[in-house]
Structure formats: C-alpha cells, structure tokens
Amino acid sequence: MSNPILTLSHLTKRFDELLVLDDLSLTVHEGEVVVIVGPSGCGKSTLLRCMNALEEIQGGEIRLHGELVSKSSKNLTELRQKIGMVFQSYDLFPHLTVLENIVLAPMKVQKRSREDASKEAMALLARVGLEEKAASYPRQLSGGQKQRVAIVRALCMHPEILLFDEVTAALDPEMVREVLDVILRLADQGKTMLIVTHEMQFARAVADRIILLEAGRIQEEGTPEEFFDSPKTERAKKFLQTFTFERKRLEQPQSQN
Amino acid sequence: MNWTVIRQYLPLYRKAAGLTVRIGLLGIAAAILIGLFCTAVQRSRIPVFRQLVSAYIELSRNTPLLVQLFFLYYGLPKIGVPTNAVACGIAGLAFLGGSYMAEAFRSGVEAIDIIQEESAYSLGLSRGQTLRYVIFPQAFSVSVPAFVANVIFLLKETSVFSAISLMDLMFTAKDLIGLYYKTTESLFLLVVFYLLILLPISLLGTLLERRTRHAGFGT
Amino acid sequence: MPDLGLSVLLKGKNFARILGGLGVALKISLVSVAISLLLGTLLGILMTWKNPLSRAILRLYLEFIRIMPQMVLLFLVYFGTTRAFGWNLSGELSSVIVFSLWGTAEMSDLVRGALTSIPAHQYESAAALGLSKRQSYFFVVLPQAVRRLIPLSINLITRMIKTTSLVLMIGVVEVLKVAQQIIEANRMSSPNAAFGIYLTVLLLYFFACWPISLLAKYLERRWR
C-alpha cells in the first residue's frame, strides 16, 4: 500500500465508566476508502469524532502524517482543516446561504479571497448538481441537497481525508441515493475517505476495506468480498444476518378463531 | 379636560420625556455591554469570574431598582463615592438591565445546537471565529423577542428616577398635580408621553419577532 | 472608622421597625398575588376562547396595562380616581388595586401561553384514544399546562414583591420610608447611616426574593 495518512494507535475512549473504544489501532492509507460498519452504539461515531478532536481520548494517540491530533494540539485548527467531516444532519449554518456556508472557512481560516473561494465553490456545486441553489438558505433545501452542500463545504477546504458520519441516516429513502452517488464519485477520484454507514450495498460498492466495529474493538476487517461473502467471525456473521429478512409462518393456534 | 392647560404643559413634558429617553438609552446601552460581557464570561472556563457573574445576576434580579437607586444615590456618598443623579440613574439602570440582557443572550446562545459549534471546529474555525461567525449571529436572532421585552421593561423602570430627583415624566406629573391640582391634564399627558415612547418600540418588536420567525432556522 | 449605620440599626427598635416596613410591602404583594392568580387564571382561559369581541377587549386591557409603567398606573388610580370620582383611596388600597390589575394581566398572559403551548397533536392523540373533550382537557392538557405555569407564577411573586417598593411614591409607609425616617432621626449622631441602612434594605429585599426565584428555577428544571 502507499503511504499512511492517518494512524490511530491503541486508542481508548471512556464516557465516565463506559468504555467506548478499547485499545483500537487503525491505519488509513492515501487514496483508500475505509468503511466502518457495526451495530448502534458500537462507537463508530465516537471514533470519527475523536479523529477530529471533538472528543477527549483517555489513551493512545491519533496522528495525521505523523502529527499528533488532540484537543491540546497547538495547531489544532490547521490539523482540522486537513480532516474534513460531514455529520449526520443539520450541520449547515442556517443563517448563511449555501455559498456563504461553503466560503466561510476558506475565507476566514485559509485567508483566501472571496472571488477565489466562490469560484471553486460554484465549480464544486455544479459537480453535485446544485449550482442554482448557491443563493438559497439551508431551510429551502431538501435533506439530500443539504448533505450534498455539506460535502462540498468540506471539500472546499482541500482536506487530505474526509470523514462521513452516517450522512444518510436522517434522510428519506429517496434522497439517500443522490448523496451516496456523490461519495461514490469522490472514491473514483481517489479521495481518501473514512465512512460510517448503515447502507450495506453502498459499503460493498465504495469500500476498499470494511471494518466491523463492535464493543469498541475491530472485530473483523477485510475486502468487501471477504467480509460480505465469507465472514470469518461469529460476530460478523451475526451482524450480517440482521440485514436479511425471512418470515417464519406459525401454525395458527386452534383456540383462536 | 382643559386644552389650554395641556398646551401650556406640553413643553415641560417634552423636556422631561427627553431626559427619560436619554438616560434610558444610555442605561440600556451600558446594560447590553454588561450583558454581553456576562455571557462571554459564563461561557468561558474561568471559575472565579463565573461565580462573580452569577452572584451579580442573582443580586440584580432579586432587588428592586428603586432600592438600588437609593443605595447608589444616598448610600454611596457616605463612604466617599461622589455621585450625581444622572450618573446614578444610568448606573442603576445598567446594573439592573445587565442581568436581564445577560439572560436574554444566554438563552439565545443555548438555543444553538452543539453540532453547529462542532461543524465550525471541524472546518478549522477557531473558538473566537466560531463565536463571531456562527454562534452570535444565530443567537442574536433567537434573543430578539427577549431583548425587545427587556428594552421596554427598562424604559418603564426609568419611571422611578423621580425618587432621586431626576426631572423625568413622573416628576413633572407629580409636580404639576401637587402645585396646580391640574390632575386630569397632568395624568393625561403622562400616559400620552409614555405611549409615545413605548408603543413604537413594542410595535417594532412585534415586527422583528415576526420577521425572525419567518426567517426561521432549521427545517 | 465612622459609623455606617450598624449602630443605628441595632439601636432600640430600629431593625424591628424596618422588618415591619418590609412586612407592609410583603402584605400588599401577597394580597395582590392572590387576587391576580385567581382572576388571571380566569381571564387566561377566557382569552383562549374564540369570541372576537371578548378577545379584543381583553387584548386591549392586557396591552395597556403591560405597556404602562406601574408607577403611572399607581398615579392614575391614586390621584386620578380622586379627581374623577371623588374617591379618596388610601395609598395601600390603591396599590393593591393597581398591582392586582397588573398581576391579573401578567398572569392571564401566562395562562394563555401555557394553554396554547400544548401542541395540537396532544389533543388529537387524546381524542384518538377515545377521550372526550372534557376528559382530554382535564387529564392531558391541564396537567401539562400547570407544570409549565407553576414556575412562571412563582416568578410573578418575586416581580410583585420588587414592584411594591414603588408604593413609597404614593405615601405608603413601607420599608424604604421607614429607613428614610430612621436615617433622618439619627442625622446628627450618625450622619453616614444611609449607607448601611439602605444596604440593609437592599439585602432584605434580596433575601425575600432570592429563595422564591431559586424555587421557581428548580421547578422549571425539574419539570422541563
């Protein structure tokens, strides 16, 4: 594999007594798409939030190109610029238009000119099919459109790695597709990404590597084919079973009419 | 009602209203500054300052302005603090209003979802930039109704200034009633002038509230 | 160190007199609060009715009372009624009337707000369960409205207590007036007593209102 971008080593995260991440190690390489799956409450979201230093960690370390990422890092804002993040929902700034949302950080943080930032923002919006929404406010957009804007907002900072935290979980089913398509295209362009999702078909299509996270540990990892077609561990088999349905028809008890 | 008397009193009331508005606005401006300062301190992590601000807010909200003014105007000079009525009026209003403004701003800031702050951080914005470009603009629109209510409340509270011999509207009315027994005309003008000061603000508040509600956030 | 009022305060019955003054203020506010709670609740329920005439009249009353400084209302009742009807109301009676009018207006708005704040789907799901209109009102809407209302009405008590300090201005002998009299009487022996005495009055008001505010805050948090 090519050179590593993000390295987590022996990460431990506790909420008071509750152990959420348990001595977890993981390396993401350049151009790699890693998808994290797992049951609710397994620590997926917390893991992503730790990578952006939105959560304190109790043990281990996170390094981006060898630089330590933590709440006390002096150059935290610079590190965060290199790590783009898209949240589950409602993270656009409601008082700013779509374009203003996108150019705020490039202008204020990277000190780019409004012209330059706007030009790039419009080009990116065009790529996700939203250039005519540039002057709209977030409340005038559908959920799927909002998430596409949020992705563009993260992209405009030229991050080296993008984190997606269940970005389609709060969307109506018919809007999920348009957002996932955007992410698929980013994968085609060779963007490095770490994706938490519940969409298994999508995970299979987009991932270079799938990780099953449960009880704060990596229970299984492998290529999509390995993971979905021949899971090695009991946990993985059990997890995958939750996505298949079958109806067991019972004999009607005779006492009922 | 005697209209000649009213015409004759009109200039007196106009002058008094000017004083009420002037002191009122200065006091309110100071109250806004105190309120912003308190909000910033309460959000910061400096322990002693936070407790001092909480103590100030409790003291200010649980005592009447009239008593605060008596203490400022009659009490403080006894320990060598020089005071005059206008300064006391402004200081009293600012002391009272600061805590009310702080509460209005705080409720605005608290209404903003934590994810807003986090997504700003994830874009690389600093704490200060996040407050300035993301939190305060949203918090302000949420605070508008409480803010306008506070402005009206504080302007109404100026009606006790006559107790420290400021020649405001109440003082003028009481004077004219006491001197000439023109009760009806004096009271009529008193009501009219307070309406002239307060009604426009109240209407403006309703308008602003409606606008910010229509520009409502979220989904 | 010159005396700043402590010795004056401890002299004779002075402190007891000040407490007595506070008692007058508290008495006026409690009587007014009691009247306001009762009438305000009635008016508040009336305001949720759909009759346009009653709504317009109540609205006008509410807006006028709320936009006028309480001092102006006190003057209107104390001086105005003498002039208009030849009544000679005492300062205390005038203040009870004014504070009840004001408190009723405030209370009615709180009641109206609490009742209308219950979302429509609460009525609907009560109806869907087969509850009658009266049943859904008593078992679903009222219990929720009351929880919202109680902290706010407790706050009204502290606002009322603070407002009673105004009655000094229409000649009622309450705590500030007593303080003035004591300072005046000891002007020669303790010329600096005003500092300590007024500070005492300030603290007395604070300790009368603070516990009530804390209670309201506690209930608000608990019932949120």
Mean pLDDT calculated for residue range B125-154: 88
Mean pLDDT calculated for residue range C22-51: 91
Residue with tokens 């009055």: C201
Optimal mutation site among B1, B5, B20, B70, interface C, most CBs of chain C within 10 A: B70
Facing residue for C4 by CB, picked from B66, B78, B184: B78
Give the burial string for A220-245 (b: 16+ CB within 10 Å, else e). bbbebeebbeebeeebbeebbeeeee
Q: Which helix (H) or strand (E) holds A220?
A: strand A217-222
| C84 shares contact with chain B (CB less than 8 Å) | yes
**Domains, in order of start, for chain A:** 4-241 (3.40.50.300)
C12-22: per-residue pLDDT in tens? 788 889 999 99
| B11 shares contact with chain A (CB less than 8 Å) | no
Q: Which two tokens stand for residue C155?
A: 């706050």
C147 pLDDT tier (thresholds 50, 70, 90): confident
C34 pLDDT more than 90: yes
Range 136-195 of B in CB contact (< 8 A) with A: 137-138, 141
C10 pLDDT tier (thresholds 50, 70, 90): confident
* Radius of gyration from C-alpha coordinates of chain B: 21
d(CA B122, CA B139): 20
Residue with tokens 């405001």: B168
Would you call A238 helix, strand, or coil by DSSP? helix
Optimal mutation site among B123, B131, B134, B214, interface A, most CBs of chain A within 10 A: B123
For residue A251, the model assigns a pLDDT of 65
For residue B217, the model assigns a pLDDT of 46
B40-86: per-residue pLDDT in tens? 888 777 889 999 999 999 999 999 999 999 999 999 988 888 888 99
Residues 6+ apart with CB under 8 A from C55: C47, C49
From chain B, the residues in CB contact with C209 under 8 A are: 62-63
ipTM of the complex: 0.88
B215 pLDDT more than 60: no
**CB-based burial label for B48 (10 Å; 0-12, 13-18, 19+):** exposed
For residue B213, the model assigns a pLDDT of 58
- Chain A residues contacting B via beta carbons under 8 Å: 49, 52, 54, 77-78, 80-81, 83-85, 87, 90-91, 93-95, 104-105, 108-110, 137, 139, 143, 150, 153-154, 157
Chains touching C (at least 3 CB pairs under 8 A) are B
Task: Considering only the C-alpha atoms of chain C, give the largest distance between any 2 of them, rounded to a whole number of Å.
Answer: 78
Inter-chain CB pairs, A–B, below 8 Å: 72
C69 pLDDT tier (thresholds 50, 70, 90): very high
A48-104: per-residue pLDDT in tens? 989 988 888 898 999 998 888 888 888 888 888 899 999 887 689 988 999 999 999
A108-122, B54-68, B124-138, C151-165: which has the minimum mean pLDDT?
Answer: B124-138
A243 pLDDT tier (thresholds 50, 70, 90): confident
Phi first, then psi: give them for residue C190, nearest 5 degrees: -130, 85
Q: Distance of CA B57 to CAs B42, B60, C204, Å? A: 11, 5, 17
Q: Which of left, alpha, beta for A53 (phi over 0: left; psi -120 to 50: alpha)?
A: left
Facing residue for B74 by CB, picked from C83, C163, C194: C194
| B111 shares contact with chain A (CB less than 8 Å) | no
A12-56: per-residue pLDDT in tens? 998 888 888 889 999 999 999 999 998 887 888 889 989 988 888
A88-92, A170-174, C152-156: which has the minimum mean pLDDT?
Answer: A88-92
Q: Which two tokens stand for residue C77?
A: 């009742």
- Predicted TM-score (pTM) of this structure: 0.78
B179 pLDDT tier (thresholds 50, 70, 90): confident
Considering only residues A252 and C113, tell me which one the structure prediction assigns the higher pLDDT. C113
For residue B159, the model assigns a pLDDT of 92
Let me know if domain B3-214 sits in CATH 3.30.300.30. no
Nearest chain B CA: its distance from C85 CA (Å): 12
| Percent with pLDDT over 70 in chain C | 99
d(CA C166, CA B200): 26
In the CATH hierarchy, which top-level class contains the domain C6-222?
Answer: mainly alpha
Inter-chain CB pairs, B–C, below 8 Å: 113
